[in-house]
Chain A
Amino acid sequence: MTSFWKSNQRRLAPWLFLAPGAVLFAVYVIIPIFQSMWISLYDWDGLGTATWIGAANYVELLDDDSFYTSLKNNVIWLVLYMLALPLGLFIAIFLNQTVGGMRIYKSMFFFPFVISQVVVGLMFSWFYAPDFGLFYQIIEWATGQGIAVLADERFVTYGIIAAGLWPQIAYVMILYLTGLNNVAPDQVEAARLDGAKGLGMLWHVILPQLRPATFIAVVVTVIGALRSFDLVSIMTDGGPYGSSRVLSFFMYEQALSEYGYRMGYGAAIAVVLFAIMMIFISGFIWKMWRDERER
């Protein structure tokens, strides 16, 4: 035993250190993924006996209007959430100055990310609320006809995304602020001597140095867009008539909500959502792996 340990110590030690994390990761992440895939092949209400129905849940999904609504909304979320990057960068550059009291301004801009998504959702619900909401009143004053954003299927998803962007911009901003701290001053100096300024400076000198920050910002924004659940649940509960559903909310609705308890169907939605996330995740992993190798 001891001789085995002695001879293999260097090979075993990393695995032993990894073990606690690896076990937890397996129990709470890896195994449930496969369980979900397994459950998605059953018809099960969470209580009675589960019936094997093969791919029937997926077939049903393909014929379900709510699924396409959710999918479409997810795409809108993904695209519009990317606005957090330029806006976050803009605010970060704006705040990257040495003025008295700058820390206070920075923390105020960062504030929306600190408060809970539920609170953000509630605030925006009141902001949009018909009759007494500020936004409603402004629109009414400007056009004579108020718009109840959260009751109108044309605007509801955009209204929720706007609420989601508020904290997301703050998050991206903080990532860029730390990135800007690491921009090499000598390069900026050199570029300035060569006559670079304004947008040219930003595009050719600053942005390339911010690439690591941009990468992280893209990752957190994509993940944020795909798991947009809390805001939808708080602000509209998927309504009006299901037009603001996204996949994560649809999954919750089918599997766990008051009118749901279709575990198999919910699991099938989860698997589809996982597949979509996998596209991005593999992209990120591939990029990280390539960067590692280049070093």
Chain B
Amino acid sequence: MFDVKQGAIAILATLLMTGSAMAEQRVLKYNADYDPIPLAAMEALIADFEAANPDIDVQLTNFDHEGYKTAIRNFLTTDPPDLANWYAGNRMAPFVEAGQFLDVTDVWEANGLNDALASAAASMTIDGKKWGIPYTYYQWGIYFNKDAYKAAGVEVPPATGVDWATFVSNCEKFSAAGIDCLTTGTKALWPGAGIFDYMSLRTNGYEWHMDLANGKVAWTDESVRKVFAELAKIQPYVTANHAAIDWQDAAALLVQGKAANYVMGNFAVGVFKEGGMTNDNLGFMAFPEITPGIPRAEDAPTDTIHIPAGAKNVEDAKKFLAFVASADAQTKLNAAIGQLPTNKNSTVAADDPFISAGFEMLSSAYALAQFFDRDAPAEMAKAGMEGIQEFLVKPENLDAILERLEKTRAKVYQ
């Protein structure tokens, strides 16, 4: 029989031993906002890091995803950890400008990251300095239901995609067959911005799109109208009532074959497959070219890790960032969460057609945009996404929408 007394002593001894072992370790506090699957992947990465650096103890505090967006503003000033999750692009600008993030340009230079993470470098740079390390991103594009294509008698697009004229004429055929050509759920606004991003990137190109996001192009300009004119071609074929549904509800429409195409991020593949789709009937293609000859840019929202300005253990935090940036760590982490590594020397699973297509698409892209609500400042993003939603419901309001957005632009970028 188990001797209770002896057992208790043994447990106590172990506790004391681990206690003394921990005392020799340096603590690295890390605040993050992972969902369950990425959390497990990051914990595995941390375990690898701790195995390589036995003298460092990473203490991960995981927040609820939405709550984190508020919490970070509090803990950065009151109780800063040594590492914190955030996003690239304009999303990190408020923290950088408020001096809440540490400049980590030296980590980039010491580890050759300017080359290895080249595709994400631009979105990590503000004022010529790097402010964090990207560890994952994912592609956006058109996911489509091959069965819906067959049901409507439309030719299934090849992996290389279709051109814009074909896409629009396909929409007419879907409409005749009673299938929504393009579905989306804009209750949370951002899914509509994905469509707009691509209309903008394909009509006027990456530089113009970033100028628009940075307030250098007037919303009442003729070039903006050109984008909306293209959008107007597919507006009648977008799921009616999209303003009342969430993106998951729209995913259900695609799964059921009531809709044919969906402009979405790769995270949606999990939802499609849960709904019963397989690699056989779920297709993926890049968004069609609209203006011929414009270099192909893509949306690829990037998740990042930063060192808060108030970090106590900066040296080890930089060590951790370098580890997260390494090709092997990113390969392993992204394989576990089903996303793309930002390190170009990493590898991706060849048996997942969406991951390999995305990796191919992004690594050959001319440039990467973050996403409308990360490229544009928050206030402009909100107003812009509302305008896009309104246009998708009531295209006849275009003049009023553009004037309102122009008013917001005059206010936001002073």
Residues of B within 8 A of A151 (CB): 241-245, 393
Residues of B within 8 A of A48 (CB): 94, 97-98
Residue A128 at the chain B interface, CB threshold 8 Å: yes
Using an 8 Å CB-CB cutoff, how does the interface string of A30-55 with B read, 1 for contact, 0 for none? 00000000000000011110000000
Are B98 and A242 closer than 8 Å at their CB atoms?
A: no
Pick from A47, A129, A256: contact of B94, CB under 8 Å: A47
Are B94 and A261 closer than 8 Å at their CB atoms?
A: yes
A162 to chain B, nearest CB (A): 15
Are A240 and B77 closer than 8 Å at their CB atoms?
A: no
Pick from B187, B378, B387, B411: contact of A236, CB under 8 Å: B187
A233 to chain B, nearest CB (A): 12
B242 to chain A, nearest CB (A): 7
Are A45 and B244 closer than 8 Å at their CB atoms?
A: no
Using an 8 Å CB-CB cutoff, how does the interface string of A237-272 with B read, 1 for contact, 0 for none? 101111000000000010010111110000000000
B301 to chain A, nearest CB (A): 14
Residues of A within 8 A of B70 (CB): 256
Are A47 and B100 closer than 8 Å at their CB atoms?
A: yes
Residues of A within 8 A of B387 (CB): 241
Residue of B nearest to A242 (CB): B386
CA distance A254 to B243 in the complex (A): 21
Residue of A nearest to B253 (CB): A131
Residue B73 at the chain A interface, CB threshold 8 Å: yes
Residue A130 at the chain B interface, CB threshold 8 Å: yes
Residues of B within 8 A of A60 (CB): 411
B261 to chain A, nearest CB (A): 19
Please judge, given known A-B contacts A60-B411, A259-B382, whether A239 and B404 are in contact too, CB under 8 Å: no
Residue B273 at the chain A interface, CB threshold 8 Å: no
Are B389 and A241 closer than 8 Å at their CB atoms?
A: yes
Residue B164 at the chain A interface, CB threshold 8 Å: no
Are B94 and A45 closer than 8 Å at their CB atoms?
A: yes
Are A240 and B373 closer than 8 Å at their CB atoms?
A: no
Residue B323 at the chain A interface, CB threshold 8 Å: no
Residues of B within 8 A of A258 (CB): 69, 378
Pick from A63, A240, A241, A262: contact of B244, CB under 8 Å: A240
Are A239 and B94 closer than 8 Å at their CB atoms?
A: no
Using an 8 Å CB-CB cutoff, how does the interface string of A136-148 with B read, 1 for contact, 0 for none? 0000000000001
Are A148 and B187 closer than 8 Å at their CB atoms?
A: no
Residues of A within 8 A of B373 (CB): 259
Residue of A nearest to B91 (CB): A258
Please judge, given known A-B contacts A45-B98, A48-B97, A241-B390, whether A261 and B187 are in contact too, CB under 8 Å: no
Residues of B within 8 A of A65 (CB): 404
Please judge, given known A-B contacts A129-B244, A259-B378, whether A240 and B389 are in contact too, CB under 8 Å: yes
Are B379 and A262 closer than 8 Å at their CB atoms?
A: yes
Residues of A within 8 A of B404 (CB): 65
Residues of A within 8 A of B186 (CB): 239-240
Interface positions of B from 24 to 76, Cβ below 8 Å from A: 69-70, 73, 76
Looking at chain A's contact residues, the main secondary structure is: loop
Are B98 and A130 closer than 8 Å at their CB atoms?
A: no
Are A130 and B241 closer than 8 Å at their CB atoms?
A: yes
A73 to chain B, nearest CB (A): 15
A282 to chain B, nearest CB (A): 34
A126 to chain B, nearest CB (A): 11
Residue of A nearest to B376 (CB): A259
Using an 8 Å CB-CB cutoff, how does the interface string of B374-398 with A read, 1 for contact, 0 for none? 0000110110001101100100000
Are B73 and A47 closer than 8 Å at their CB atoms?
A: yes
B275 to chain A, nearest CB (A): 15
Residues of B within 8 A of A63 (CB): 407
CA distance A133 to B52 in the complex (A): 55
Using an 8 Å CB-CB cutoff, how does the interface string of A110-130 with B read, 1 for contact, 0 for none? 000000000000000000111
Residue B329 at the chain A interface, CB threshold 8 Å: no
Interface positions of A from 3 to 20, Cβ below 8 Å from B: none
Residue A150 at the chain B interface, CB threshold 8 Å: yes
CA distance A259 to B411 in the complex (A): 15
Residue B314 at the chain A interface, CB threshold 8 Å: no
Residue of A nearest to B76 (CB): A47
Pick from B76, B188, B378, B390: contact of A260, CB under 8 Å: B378
Residues of B within 8 A of A261 (CB): 73, 94, 378
Are A239 and B378 closer than 8 Å at their CB atoms?
A: no
Are B393 and A47 closer than 8 Å at their CB atoms?
A: no
Please judge, given known A-B contacts A148-B240, A262-B379, whether A47 and B390 are in contact too, CB under 8 Å: no
Interface positions of A from 221 to 244, Cβ below 8 Å from B: 236-237, 239-242
Are A47 and B98 closer than 8 Å at their CB atoms?
A: yes
CA distance A11 to B49 in the complex (A): 69
CA distance A237 to B390 in the complex (A): 15
Q: Which of B69, B97, B243: most chain A Cβ within 10 A?
A: B243
CA distance A261 to B70 in the complex (A): 10
Please judge, given known A-B contacts A241-B393, A242-B386, whether A47 and B77 are in contact too, CB under 8 Å: yes
Residue B95 at the chain A interface, CB threshold 8 Å: yes
CA distance A129 to B248 in the complex (A): 14
Residue B307 at the chain A interface, CB threshold 8 Å: no
Residues of B within 8 A of A128 (CB): 244
Residues of A within 8 A of B94 (CB): 45, 47-48, 261
Residues of B within 8 A of A148 (CB): 240-241, 243-244
CA distance A261 to B74 in the complex (A): 12
CA distance A240 to B378 in the complex (A): 18
A154 to chain B, nearest CB (A): 11
CA distance A129 to B185 in the complex (A): 12
Residues of B within 8 A of A241 (CB): 243, 386-387, 389-390, 393
A122 to chain B, nearest CB (A): 12
Enumerate 9 A-B pairs (CB-CB under 8 Å) in ascending A order. A65-B404, A130-B244, A130-B245, A150-B243, A239-B186, A239-B189, A239-B389, A259-B382, A261-B94
Can you name 11 extra interface pairs (CB under 8 A) apart from A48-B94, A236-B187?
A: A149-B244, A151-B241, A236-B244, A239-B189, A239-B386, A240-B389, A241-B387, A253-B382, A256-B70, A261-B94, A261-B378
Interface residues of A (CB under 8 A from B): 45-48, 60, 63, 65, 128-131, 148-151, 153, 236-237, 239-242, 253, 256, 258-262
Interface residues of B (CB under 8 A from A): 69-70, 73, 76-77, 94-95, 97-98, 100, 186-189, 240-245, 373, 378-379, 381-382, 386-387, 389-390, 393, 404, 407, 411
> Top 10 A-B pairs ranked by shortest CB distance?
A151-B244, A148-B241, A259-B382, A240-B243, A151-B243, A241-B390, A130-B241, A48-B98, A259-B378, A241-B386
